[in-house]
Structure 1
């Protein structure tokens, strides 16, 4: 039998959560603790800029499978978003994003990290 050590953070964070129409959750407020780590939030699709959209084509079969899954059980893995000066840039989750668009869902669950303009330039290379 294996032994495991369970460690808890010194400070716990709390977030008010509300249900969404696509099975996700919406988190209000901001992350406490000041460590700048990622926060899971639900963002409107039209507030997320997709700077790499023109350079990549999505697999229609994968998008359809995701649409079916999202309708049945909701989005399981949030997309990654970089927030720079109040603007959100999506760099991953292209198929999940398109599936939400095609389903007509107004919001998507995102793992948001804060970044600088330099970080953004690095992602656009």
Structure 2
């Protein structure tokens, strides 16, 4: 696993999530004050990035207008991606 700052627009979020607005707002305030403390988890499959966790941190970063987000990046074959999508 590798830690990288990735452009937010390059991370695909293929599964719909229901975010808690209060949690997103609290994270926005925290990220503004001290930065993102915990990277989100991202799969890298054939050069594409897919996010399945960290939905509140991701949404807070998007709403703040951040261009990048710190990620724990794990390379995986397409078969692993398919398991996440099933």
* TM norm structure 1: 0.68
Deviation for aligned residue 1:47: 0.3
Deviation for aligned residue 1:123: 0.6
Structure richer in strand, relative to its length: 2
Correspondence for 1:99 among 52, 60, 65: 60
* Structure 2 residues without counterparts, runs of 5 or longer: none
Across the aligned residues of Structure 1 and Structure 2, the Cα RMSD in angstroms comes to 0.5
Structure richer in helix, relative to its length: 2
* TM norm structure 2: 0.98
Could you give the per-residue CA deviations for residues 80-125 of structure 1, whole angstroms, max 9, x where no partner exists?
0000000000010000000001000000000000000000000111
Size of the alignment, in residue pairs? 86
Correspondence for 1:72 among 17, 33, 53: 33
Q: Whose relative contact order is higher, 1 or 2, with alpha carbons under 8 Å and at least 6 apart? A: 2
User: Which one has the largest radius of gyration?
Assistant: 1
Q: Which runs of 4+ in 1 moved over 2 A?
A: none
* Aligned mates of 2:81, 2:64 — CA distance in 1: 29
